[in-house]
Structure 1
Amino acid sequence: MRVDPCFFCGRPSWPSKGITFMRNDGKSFRFCRSKCHKNFKMKRNPRKLKWTKAYRKNAGKEMIVDSTLQFAARRNVPVRYDRELVQKTLKAMERISEIRSRRERVFYKKRMAGKRAREVAAARKLVAHNEHLLPRLRGSEKRRLAELAAERGVDVEELEREELENIRTSKKSKAFGGETRRLRVRTDGGVEEITESVGGGVHEDDDGFDDDDDGMDTD
């Protein structure tokens, strides 16, 4: 059984599967699916499509030089059938696939080394470029934190970072124009947030009852 690679994407094209195109000059092209066949007829370059093996090899995302890849080369040498040779060949195929998968994992680990550091550097560059969009403290707040830091003997920048973090975590979503939000204590002891319009109307909860029917409100 011969498994030919797809002419366009490089995936294995199994026997009785896929599409075979015969050109007028007698050359045959094997495709694993209609997607590759359509892209071939549209004369697209497989090196410019990210889902093909040619693009991945050209971008350095696939192993190009490896001894296990030599076993997949076509050999048009007729060999007499031998049962022992077939068994050895099957065992060798399993062993080669194991070695290739292990080498691919090592190749991927080396290729992805330092990715976290590059992401952190890119994030820091983005924050530094858009620093004017970050929330800032008022002058009075900075003076208050400076006095507090002088009393406690700690760093002012650390207190400012803590204050900004508290502002980000405690920031709530604003209500629409003409609406106010307040907390309501239910009879069972629970607390829920309700939205009330300026005219005094209260929005209904999911259960269909008005908020004014039961419970007491707190500011």
Structure 2
Amino acid sequence: MKRQPRKVKWTKTHRALRGKEMIVDSSLLLSQFAQKRNVPVKYDRNLVAATIKAMERVEEIRQRRERVFTKKRLAGKLARERQREEDRRVVAQGEHLIRKELREMQEQNVSLGAVSEKEKAVGTVFGEERPRQKKKARQLVDGGVEEEMDVD
């Protein structure tokens, strides 16, 4: 749209001209923040050494962050496994109590089961249940289904 960057409020130049950007020295105006990086730089041994050191440092930081991430992720899994082991140990210690409760529940179900069978006998439907009839259907070319007739 061919607008002047100094007049468009969201650009770095506008913010720098209005004193909003965090630039202390006016000679550094946009030099550090919006520096062009695709300009070829003349070979400098010190610059190359510093760049390689920085790359190694970045790789070291990345690996450390990955290790911390995996430790945190596995910590949750290890905590769950420890909790499960603790739960299993508690259940093993109190297994006799659980079996006692299960026996009591089964005895109650047996006594209730006899009553429920009598109630079932009262509410039964007499006669035979008819099996469901199969329906024959035809697939149409346009993707629909046409139901034809019941087949016994």
With normalisation by structure 2, the TM-score equals 0.29
Higher helix share: 2
Work out which of the two has the higher radius of gyration on C-alpha atoms and give 1 or 2: 2
With normalisation by structure 1, the TM-score equals 0.22
Which gives a bigger RCO, structure 1 or 2 (Cα 8 Å, sep 6+)? 1
